[in-house]
């Protein structure tokens, strides 16, 4: 029998225990990878090529506090701003679905191309949107999730504003990092609210990333000491402000991951100690035959390491396979457009498994090293 065969035979001697050991590592590392993926999606929102050029301009008091539409003229005069549009979150629901998983925004359709240049939409659909104030365009992910087609008419029941909107879908866009939103005419929302004269916030595009800090300062200065002071920030900073509302989600998920790893370490160490203690007599025989301590340690380490890596392949590999195979957008009801298991996450999971395999082998290896041949032979199987 070869050395590898000898190690494998010992590792699988108690097949139930070996299977449970592998499954415990697999389940723990699967949970670890999933938590890391969710943490990445929550704390590092995806960005496209135009994200560094877009600015969010909202009320300094609260994001729920609307701004006067008359601010548009002042914003357009600020040097460095290429375009600016209202950006009003409507927050509607479908009559037949109270859990709509996408956002609806009222904007100026004429600014769509300049603001979101990466969005791909046929020209005829875009012009149809321009021509009909009651029309809208939706992202490809939302169209797929809700089986929406061009020509469909939907009623958006207002949950924030006291009005309902009858909208007609005339276009489907794609190519952005988040193809889930619906874009409406800001004027349609304004009219539905009785010539409201306000907007939820402003969304602007600067001429270059280099001038963004100066433009932000100029915007805030332009409305300082007025009844409607604003806060301007980059799209990235605006996204992260929503992450902060989850409190310290990074610490929470990090604590869960740590608890999972520590628990797994205790279980793995206990399992390996039990498995080796049952074989003290055999290991004593190997000592008597001339095997040195480091060779016996290598046998124990290889067994522990092999079980841990097998669990990592099953757990981390399973998480990677599931993330690639399922329609995440549909499963999460639009909460996440997609989930990505990065090479860094896989490397971290396998690194943890390797560390577990090494640490779990230390205690039983130390016991074997201290054991004399006579003491080992006296041990009952």
The 10s digit of each residue's pLDDT in 188-212 is 999 999 989 999 999 999 998 889 9
What pLDDT does 110 receive?
Answer: 93
The residue whose two tokens read 């600014």 is 111
Q: Who has greater pLDDT, 298 or 355?
A: 355
What pLDDT does 142 receive?
Answer: 87
Q: With a threshold of 0.85, does the pTM exceed it?
A: no
| Mean pLDDT score, 121-135 | 94
What pLDDT does 22 receive?
Answer: 85
pLDDT for 72 beyond 70: yes
What pLDDT does 331 receive?
Answer: 61
Residues 186, 188, 190, CA angle at the centre, nearest 5°? 70
% of residues, the chain, pLDDT over 90: 38
DSSP 254: H
pLDDT tens digits, one per residue of 223-282:
999 999 999 998 877 877 766 655 567 777 888 888 888 888 888 888 777 777 666 666
Separation CA 350–CA 345 (nearest Å) = 9
Give the list of residues 6+ apart from residue 2 with CB closer than 8 angstroms, or none.
none
Specify whether the CB–CB gap between 365 and 280 falls below 8 A.
no
Q: How would residue 136 be classed by pLDDT, with cut points 50, 70 and 90?
A: very high
Strand partners, 84: 204
pLDDT for 98 beyond 70: no
Q: How would residue 187 be classed by pLDDT, with cut points 50, 70 and 90?
A: very high
The pair phi, psi for residue 58, each rounded to 5°, is -130, 170
Lowest mean pLDDT among 67-71, 147-151, 259-263, 311-315: 259-263
Q: Find the helix packing angle between 15-43 and 293-325, rounded to 10°.
A: 50
pLDDT for 81 beyond 90: yes
What pLDDT does 47 receive?
Answer: 57
Q: How would residue 99 be classed by pLDDT, with cut points 50, 70 and 90?
A: low
What pLDDT does 253 receive?
Answer: 81
Give how far the C-alpha of residue 204 lies from the chain's centroid of Cα atoms, to the nearest Å: 26
pLDDT for 155 beyond 60: yes
Per the prediction, the chain carries an average pLDDT of 83
Q: Who has greater pLDDT, 215 or 357?
A: 215
Give how far the C-alpha of residue 212 lies from the chain's centroid of Cα atoms, to the nearest Å: 27
| Mean pLDDT score, 336-358 | 84
What pLDDT does 46 receive?
Answer: 53
2-20 b/e (C-beta count within 10 Å ≥ 16 → b):
eeeeebeebbeeeeebbee
Question: Residue 336 corresponds to which tokens in the numbers above?
Answer: 């996440």
Separation CA 267–CA 25 (nearest Å) = 9
pLDDT for 82 beyond 80: yes
What pLDDT does 133 receive?
Answer: 93
What pLDDT does 8 receive?
Answer: 67
Nearest Cα residue to 86 out of 111, 61, 62: 111
pLDDT for 295 beyond 90: no
């Amino acid at each position: 029998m070869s050395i590898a065969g000898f190690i494998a035979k010992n590792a699988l001697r108690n097949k139930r225990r070996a299977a449970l050991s592998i499954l415990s590592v697999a389940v723990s590392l699967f949970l670890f990878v999933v938590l890391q993926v969710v943490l990445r999606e929550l704390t590092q929102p995806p960005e496209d090529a135009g994200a560094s050029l877009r600015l969010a301009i909202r009320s300094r008091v609260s994001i729920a506090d609307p701004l006067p539409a008359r601010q548009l003229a002042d914003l357009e005069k600020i040097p460095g701003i290429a375009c600016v549009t209202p950006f009003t979150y409507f927050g509607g629901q479908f009559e037949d679905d109270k859990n709509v998983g996408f956002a609806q925004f009222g904007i100026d359709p004429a600014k769509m191309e300049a603001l979101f240049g990466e969005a791909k939409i046929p020209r005829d659909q875009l012009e149809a949107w321009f021509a009909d104030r009651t029309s809208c365009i939706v992202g490809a992910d939302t169209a797929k999730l809700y089986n929406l087609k061009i020509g469909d008419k939907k009623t958006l029941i207002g949950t924030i504003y006291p009005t309902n909107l009858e909208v007609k879908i005339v276009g489907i866009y794609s190519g952005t990092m988040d193809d889930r939103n619906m874009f409406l005419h800001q004027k349609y929302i304004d009219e539905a609210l009785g010539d409201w004269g306000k907007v939820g916030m402003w969304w602007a595009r600067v001429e270059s990333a280099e001038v963004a800090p100066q433009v932000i300062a100029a915007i805030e200065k332009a409305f300082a000491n007025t009844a409607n002071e604003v806060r301007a920030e980059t799209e990235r900073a605006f996204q992260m402000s929503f992450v902060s509302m989850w409190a310290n989600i990074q610490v929470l998920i990090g604590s869960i991951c740590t608890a999972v790893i520590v628990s797994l370490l205790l279980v793995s160490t206990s399992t390996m100690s039990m498995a080796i203690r049952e074989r003290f007599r055999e290991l004593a025989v190997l000592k008597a035959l001339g095997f040195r301590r480091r060779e016996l340690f290598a046998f124990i380490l290889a067994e522990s390491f092999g079980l841990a890596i097998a669990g990592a392949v099953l757990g981390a590999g399973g998480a990677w396979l599931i993330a690639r195979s399922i329609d995440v957008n549909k499963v999460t009801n639009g909460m996440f457009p997609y989930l990505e298991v990065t090479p860094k996450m896989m490397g971290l999971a396998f690194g943890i498994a390797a560390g577990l395999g090494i640490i779990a082998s230390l205690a039983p290896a130390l016991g074997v090293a201290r054991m004399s041949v006579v003491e080992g032979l006296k041990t009952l199987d």
